[in-house]
Amino acid sequence: MRVDYISDYFIALDRLIDTPNDVELLVQCGIIENWLPNSQMVVTLINNLVFGTVTSTANFYFANLLGELNAYCSVPWHKWKATLNEDYFSTPWAVISVSAATVFLILTLIQTVCSVISL
């Protein structure tokens, strides 16, 4: 029976949390709760909790999870997709306007092809 799940959890959190934005994202997703006055204090707390902690990578409970996260983030397509969603599809109106622009572009292309064929 392993008794170091808690320390492994905090080490995993330390690897995930580097900035206050990371804390806000984890709070927003319901992974952690922030009862401290600001997110920077959570960053400092997590970083100080695991300072000097030694763990074996062979016995690290969250090794597979963190490995999968790193592999997912290293694929450029996932970053491009996230950027596209944030920049162009952040609101329903943005989705509608991009869809309408795409439809108009396709219709213009069809009209151009039909005009060229009729010549």
What tokens does 47 get?
């970083």
| Average pLDDT in the chain | 89
Residue with the bigger pLDDT between 93 and 5: it is 93
**pTM for this entry:** 0.64
Q: Side-chain half-sphere of 41: how many Cα atoms within 13 Å?
A: 6
Q: For residue range 25-79, list pLDDT tens digits in order.
A: 999 999 899 999 999 999 999 989 888 877 777 788 898 999 999 999 899 999 9
| Residue 1 confidence (pLDDT) | 54
| Residue 6 confidence (pLDDT) | 83
Q: For residue range 102-111, list pLDDT tens digits in order.
A: 999 999 999 9
| Residue 3 confidence (pLDDT) | 65
Alpha helices for 18-75 (secondary structure H) = 20-28, 39-49, 63-74
| Residue 7 confidence (pLDDT) | 84
Does the pLDDT value for residue 4 go beyond 80? no
Contact 71, 18 (CB under 8 A): no
